[in-house]
Structure 1
Amino acid sequence: MAVDSSIGTPAQLRDPDYTPPLATAVPLGIQHVLAMFVSNITPAIIVAGAAGFGFGTAGVFDLIYMIQMSLLFAGIATLFQTIGAGPIGARLPVVQGTSFAFLPIMIPLVAGKGVDAMAALMGGIIIGGLFHATLGTVIGKIRFALPPLVTGLVVLMIGLALVKVGIQYAAGGVPAMGKPEFGSAQNWFVALVVVAVTLGLKFFTRGMWSVAAVLLGLIVGYLLSMALGMVSFANVGRAAWFTLPNPLHFGLAFDWAAVIGFGLMGVVSAIETVGDVSGITKGGAGREATDREIAGATYADGLGTAVAGVFGGLPNTSFSQNVGLIAMTGVMSRHVVTFGAIFLIVCGLVPKVGAVISTVPIEVLGGGVIVMFGMVAAAGISMLADVKWNRRNMVIFAVALSVGLGLQLVPEALQHLPRTLQILLTTGLLPAAVLAIGLNLILPEELSAEQTEEISGGLSGHHN
């Protein structure tokens, strides 16, 4: 893509340490933030909804606080990456934000348990984040165990685990919330308008209109829901203009399921960050990422998660949509992203911002997440396109997907196991990942035709 030469020479634009003129750098930084804004706050709303607080009046200020922390610690974790300290940080334009990847772990941990469940969640986030940070010392050595077959399957499973949430929200929330209007024509109308506007902007416009399509789709849906009388601003007036984060806001407890789950997902998140850093250096500077950049990014990833957990925030990871934005703008400056991080931090210190976001009807959010979670699954399929689909890889994929998706669909199948194992296995994500990694390391490079004849024979066209 052609880049405006008035903001720097091609060599300058490929230099992470170059700062374009402020008149350009600040809008570009805010553009990076807008590209991830909706995705960054959505996990907090989903976790609160799964726990059963934050909608209506019950626990709404805890939800507002979680939205605040999502913004604040996305900004702080981004500064860990762009500015860095010692070995911490890639010192590249890496945008951090609240991760969707951990939702299949978090939802079963808090389901229906209210605000009280958040203490154990925070304990898991802190320990998991510290473990995640230590992976920076070995991340280069374990990449061999995570080829596209494994990483693509994991990302696909994350998307498949979340599509149910999109449909529930579009219909009006979680059925257990007992809303009689669940699935009404009005709910679906609002959600589908969001989907239609998002797709229209994404594919029929260019520049910022296309990049911020999900955000703009939500704004249109929000205005429509206001016209239909679905929005209440009662809590906005009661929210403060400025508040500092509160250490251990939800308390602190330790649950083995949370600690193990967040630790294992930390490995997945670390690999995702390695891919994003590699994509940034390849797309923005035409080179491979260095070992120091990859290790620094992983340290910052884990540290950002652990610090967020101390203050009641959710796990952080690098945001992939910003990788495409760097390739599109051609601007590799880490200082541009620093301006975006400062914007996020300012928003995170103003509870009224979170209060306004909390007024967005769940049906509007449902339209947005239908698109976002579908895109997560599609990204996994895209990664799987790089796999050499021989018999061995088909068997690995088949077994991991069958077990992972099956346990997710029929959690009762594990009702006699201890609670910790139930939570970890019924996510579907962890058993699929463990099976894929294990089988990929154990099975020989190619299975013989005889070994897979029974599996593939039914599809091969050899019928009597």
Structure 2
Amino acid sequence: MFRKNETSAEETLVAHPNGMLLEVDEAPKRPGKWIILAIQHVLAMFVACITVPMIVFSGVNVTLGGVSYNLASIMIAPTLFSAGIGTIFYLCVTKFKSPMFLASSFAYMSAMSEAIKVDCQATGQVNLWILPVGMAMVGLIYCIVAFLIKLFGVKWLNKLLPTIVVGPVIIVIGLSLATSAISNLTTGAAIGGYNWCAILSGLIAMIVTALCSHYGKGTISLVPFVIGMLSGYVVACLFTLIGYYGCGNEYCHVVNFDPLLNLFSTVQDGTRVANVTIQSFLDYPKFLFLTANS
């Protein structure tokens, strides 16, 4: 629901009685809000498509043609492809009424991690065939539930899965990912295996996200993920630019700018020399040109 502010020409989001700023059948009127909400959604879903296979297949290797491969990196591409196919199917079924990108669900990580271990000791290889079969069964259940909702509405589902049940489940899923978040923050070259600059950057990102989500008004409350992530990157970049590049302190080297610098310069005899070409701009921005220094 939108309402004109009497003192300004800007449109203001007004919360519905249920607390929602935007209902499922509503959309922002301004293109700017469309774009920023779309960016946040794609970022969140894209991260899910990368994080889930990295966690599920962490430390899992397969041997093909006598060569050992790490599944964590191999499975990202098929995960993204499957998410794209699922999104197209979803959009067609819903007649594009609910523009949404479907991604991997963190709820199934434990089940998938255990499933790939079936017959692992007997064969010496992880069981990858069981995953598509299991996911197909999950999809079939989703279709059955959707059909029942179409016939009988959602009241029976709300009684079967009330908020008091769904809430703790979501909390448990989030807590199960806490170890992964802590591992990412504490990985570094510093003494003790962690870097306080990286930890502080992560904490700031988390706190800003929580504050924007809880206390934010209007558009800010809709995009806490983007604002929090950007704040964490800004702090990490400041640590790196001031501490590492400015003062030469390796401890502050949180973000690795070398992939970006290499697009516009080269190193000759230990000195970086500007080398700007047309190809530099064609290659920029390369995805993930800023990487964490570890």
TM-score under structure 1 length normalisation? 0.37
Shift of 1:353: 8.8
The question of whether the paired residues in 2 share the 8 Å contact of 1:201 and 1:213 is answered with yes
Deviations 1:351-402 (A, max 9, x none): x99952994689xxxxxxxxxxxxxxxxxxxxxxxxxxxxxxxxxxxxxxxx
Query: What whole-Å deviation, never above 9, does each CA across 1:105-161 have from its counterpart, x for those lacking one?
Result: 3344458x9x95554323322342234224433334485653446343134223213
Q: Deviation string for 1:9-61 (max 9, x for gaps)?
A: xxxxx9x6x999xxx5654432332342343133331331232169xx95675
Q: 2:288 aligns with which of 331, 350, 356?
A: 356
Indicate how the Cα distance of structure 1 residues 2 and 94 shifts in structure 2: closer, same or farther if over 3 A, else same.
Answer: same
Looking at structure 1, the residues matched to 290 and 74 of structure 2 have their Cα atoms a distance apart, in angstroms, of 10
TM-superposed deviation, 1:210? 3.0
Q: What does residue 345 of structure 1 align with?
A: none
Q: 1:224 and 1:181, CA in 2 relative to 1: closer, same or farther beyond 3 A?
A: farther
Corresponding residue to 1:50 among 56, 60, 64:
56
Equivalences for residues 308-327 of structure 1 within 5 A: none
Contact kept? 1:172, 1:182, Cα under 8 Å: no
CA, structure 1 residues 170+180, in 2 after alignment: closer, same or farther (shift >3 Å)? Answer: farther
Q: Partner residue of 1:323? A: none
| Deviation digits for residues 278-325 of structure 1 (CA, Å, limit 9, x no counterpart) | xxxxxxxxxxxxxxxxxxxxxxxxxxxxxxxxxxxxxxxxxxxxxxxx
Match of 1:395 in 2: none
Task: Look up the equivalent residue of 1:128 and give its one-letter code.
Answer: V
Percent of matched pairs sharing the same residue? 14
Following the alignment from structure 1 to structure 2, what is the Cα–Cα distance between the partners of residues 190 and 97?
29
Residue 146 of structure 1 aligns to a residue in which SS? helix
Write the mapping of 1:42-81 to structure 2, written as runs, cut at 5 A.
42-44=47-49, 45-52=51-58, 61-62=73-74, 65=77, 68-69=80-81, 72-73=84-85, 75-77=87-89, 80-81=90-91
Give the SS at the match of 1:95.
coil
Residue matched to 1:212: 223
CA spacing shift, 1:223–1:30, aligned 2, 3 Å: same
Structure-1 separation of matches of 2:27 and 2:207: 38
More helix by share: 1
1:39 aligns with 2:63: no
Label 1:356 to 1:97 Cα distance change in 2 as closer, same or farther (>3 A).
same
For the Cα contact (< 8 Å) 2:256–2:293, is it kept in 1? Answer: no
**1:200-245, Cα deviation, whole Å (9 max, x unpaired):** 43345433333211122112223433424334578999xxxxxxxx
Q: Unaligned stretches of 5+ in structure 2?
A: 12-22, 61-68, 241-251, 262-283
1:202 aligns with 2:134: no
Distance 1:103 1:66 in 2: 16
The residue number in structure 1 matching 2:133 is: 123
Q: Which of these residues, 160, 165, 174, is aligned with residue 177 of structure 2?
A: 165
* Aligned twin of 1:102: 108
Q: Hey, what does 1:385 align to over in structure 2?
A: none
For residue 143 of structure 2, the aligned residue among 115, 120, 133 is 133
State the Cα distance separating 1:181 from its structure 2 match.
Answer: 5.1
Give, in angstroms, the shift of residue 194 of structure 1: 0.9
TM-score, normalised to structure 2, is: 0.54
> Which amino acid is the alignment partner of residue 121 of structure 1?
L
- Structure with the larger strand share: 2
SS in 1 for 2:139: helix
* Aligned partners of 1:47 and 1:110 also within 8 Å: no
How many residues are treated as equivalent by the alignment? 226
- What is the CA–CA distance in structure 2 between the aligned matches of 1:118 and 1:357, rounded to whole Å? 32
Distance across 2 between alignment mates of 1:211 and 1:217: 12
Question: Kindly tell me: are residues 61 and 46 of structure 1, through their superposed partners in 2, closer, same or farther at Cα, counting changes over 3 Å?
Answer: closer
Residue 3 of structure 2 aligns to a residue whose secondary structure is coil
Distance 1:19 1:200 in 2: 24
User: Which residue number in structure 2 is paired with residue 413 of structure 1?
Assistant: none
Is 1:190 paired with 2:207? no
Contact kept? 1:194, 1:218, Cα under 8 Å = yes
1:229 is the counterpart of 2:241 = no
Q: Partners in 2 of 1:360 and 1:71 — Cα distance?
A: 26
* TM alignment of 1:279-290, pairs within 5 A: none
Q: Which has the larger radius of gyration?
A: 2
Q: How far apart are residue 172 of structure 1 and its match?
A: 1.9
Residues 38 and 6 of structure 1: CA distance in aligned 2, closer, same or farther (over 3 Å):
closer
Letter of the 1:2 partner, please give it: F
For residue 52 of structure 1, give the secondary structure of its aligned residue in structure 2: coil
Q: 1:448 maps to which residue?
A: none
Counterpart position of 2:94: 89
d(CA) in 1 for partners of 2:258, 2:191: 23
Give the secondary structure class of the aligned counterpart of 1:138: helix
Shift of 1:187: 4.4
Amino acid at match of 2:236: S
**Partners of 2:213 and 2:222 within 8 A in 1:** yes
- What is the root-mean-square deviation of aligned Cα atoms in Å? 5.1
Please say if residues 104 and 162 of structure 1, whose CA atoms lie closer than 8 Å, have aligned partners that are also in contact: no
Which consecutive residues of structure 1, in runs of 5 or more, have no partner in the other structure? 8-13, 238-351, 363-464
Superposed CA offset, 1:159-212 (max 9, x none): 21331312x13322499xxx9956654443222111122234334543333321
